[in-house]
Amino acid sequence: MNKFMVVATFKPGTNQDDVTAMVPEEGVAANALAAEGILNTVRISTPRDKVWLDVNAEDAEAAIAAINRLPLVVFWDLEVYQVASPVG
């Protein structure tokens, strides 16, 4: 497994009420990915309209496929970066 950082940027014009309404469903899906050992952490910066997702996957395409299982992906533009494991 390789590590990837997926940077999700909310698309311009995203209605935050629509996002908020989907949060419970997002939590269930994120927990399922975590239980499978795919999703490690999720960090959100509301002022920057960004979400950082730490993902384990074979390759970038698999990382995107995993994130596409999250309901909020409909609001995001994605960038995927392979990263090294933490040192130490």
Q: Is the entire prediction scored with pTM above 0.75? A: yes
Structure-token match 């002022």, residue found = 47
Sheet architecture: strand order including 2-10: 39-45, 50-57, 2-10, 76-83
Domains of the chain, each with CATH number or no CATH? 2-83 (3.30.70.1060)
Instruction: Using the CB atoms, write b or e for 27-51: b if 16+ within 10 Å.
Output: eebbeebeeeebbeebeeeeeebeb
pLDDT digits 0-9 by tens, 2-20: 999 999 999 999 999 999 9
pLDDT digits 0-9 by tens, 34-67: 999 999 999 999 889 999 999 999 999 999 999 9
